[in-house]
A = this chain, B = another copy of it.
């Protein structure tokens, strides 16, 4: 009886979901046309004044049909983010027709199910062309695979909200000719993955990447008496658990990745720090041109002369040209204990006037200077509206 009632309602919900998808697809076609018009007439992709008007109107209209303003805001942030990223992607592809390949061969760390694999899937879902995944064992392997033209792109983790910068990747970037052509942020949610239903207390052996163990140390302490087995990658850990098919073993990795190995998540958010994101960069043999209509970031490396204030002087050049720095990372140079290499991310397009001026000054004043790449910003800041005030208007 209850089941019949629920079934009928669910059929009706399915219909509305189908309508939703169809309407969203229609909206996407329209925003694609908007992008074409913007390309033709050199108009900026984002128009936050319009977005704000849109949100305020939608919130009001939503309230009239009983929808929570916070829900409507959140929903349209997701829709607008998708629309902005699609428009940016279209512009970038038009500006770099040679980079649009029928097949994208992408190198990444680990195998199917690793966090780098999931980030690769996410980034290339927005690009045209078929995706061919090339799992690699180490960061130098990944770089070599692209340099030797066995892969077209590589996806590399560069920093993590809990563990910080991934120095190994920064060190690789110092010695390669590859260019950064994109970035993305991906949520890292460590879950306990098992092959069949077991009680937590029955698990005797836990497989994971050593860095994952470090990030989940509080959870491991809670578990108590358990044997911990380090693996080369998260995907390797999943594979072992999939093959052992025992109720006494488990892996730590992403829930989505685990499903690829038939594993079930029994507990998630295992990391000590609850908010856990990684930023990945995408590299290729050739740099790309970022259209000026799209917000861009530029990554550069430089080494300054060993004099007090040399770095400050370099950063002042950026400030004087009104260029915002989003990241500064320093790494020692192998064999040169008196020098440091600085990695700097700034907001700006390398083809922009102030940026070119700044780069010219920096080249003059540093011992070594290189642009690692200029690429579209993937972090679409949501347009905020005063939800409360729109409630009372």
- Supposing A58-B17, A388-B256 touch, asked if A68 and B126 sit within 8 A by C-beta, the answer is yes
Contact present for A75 and B17 (CB under 8 Å):
no
Do B65 and A25 touch across chains, with their CB atoms under 8 A apart?
Answer: yes
Cβ of A202 < 8 Å from any Cβ of B?
no
Which residue of the partner chain B has the closest CB to A50? Answer: B10
* Of A26-34, A93-101, A206-214, the one with at least 4 CB within 8 A of chain B: A26-34
**A125 interface neighbour in B5, B61, B68, Cβ under 8 Å:** B68
A1-29: contact bitstring with B at CB < 8 Å (1 yes, 0 no)? 11001100110111011111111111110
CB contact list, A135-151 vs B, under 8 A: none
Give CA–CA (A358, B363) in the complex, Å.
68
Copies held by the complex: 2
What residues of B have a CB within 8 angstroms of the CB of A227 in the complex? none
Q: Which residue of B lies closest to A6 (CB)?
A: B37
Interfacial chain B residues near A79, Cβ < 8 Å = 20, 75
A357 CB to closest chain B CB (Å) equals 17
Smallest CB separation, A143 vs chain B (Å): 24
Dominant SS among interface residues on chain A: helix
When A24-B75, A121-B391, A256-B386 are in contact, do A13 and B31 touch as well, CB less than 8 Å? yes
Set of chain B residues within 8 Å of A260, measured between Cβ atoms:
386, 388-389
**Residue A117 lies at the interface, judged by CB distance under 8 Å to chain B:** yes
CB atoms of B385 and A2 under 8 A apart: no
Is A275 part of the contact surface with B, judged by Cβ < 8 Å?
Answer: yes
Most buried by B among A74, A112, A388, A391: A388
CB neighbours of A385 from chain B (8 A):
256, 259
CA distance A308 to B95 in the complex (A): 68
**Within A339-393, which residues are at the interface with B (CB < 8 Å)?**
381, 384-389, 391
User: In the complex the two chains form, is A16's CB within 8 Å of B20's CB?
Assistant: no
The reply on A82 being an interface residue by CB < 8 A is yes
Docked Cα-Cα span, A48 to B219, in Å, equals 24
Q: Would you mind naming 25 contact pairs between A and B with Cβ atoms under 8 Å apart?
A: A2-B41, A5-B37, A6-B34, A9-B33, A9-B34, A9-B37, A13-B31, A13-B34, A20-B20, A21-B58, A23-B23, A25-B65, A28-B67, A68-B125, A71-B78, A71-B82, A75-B82, A78-B78, A118-B388, A189-B384, A256-B386, A256-B387, A260-B386, A260-B389, A275-B277
Q: Which residues of A are at the interface with B, using a C-beta cutoff of 8 A?
A: 1-2, 5-6, 9-10, 12-14, 16-28, 30-31, 33-34, 37-38, 40-41, 43, 50, 54, 58, 61-62, 65-72, 74-76, 78-79, 82, 86, 112, 117-118, 121-122, 125-126, 161, 189, 254-260, 265, 268-269, 274-275, 277, 381, 384-389, 391
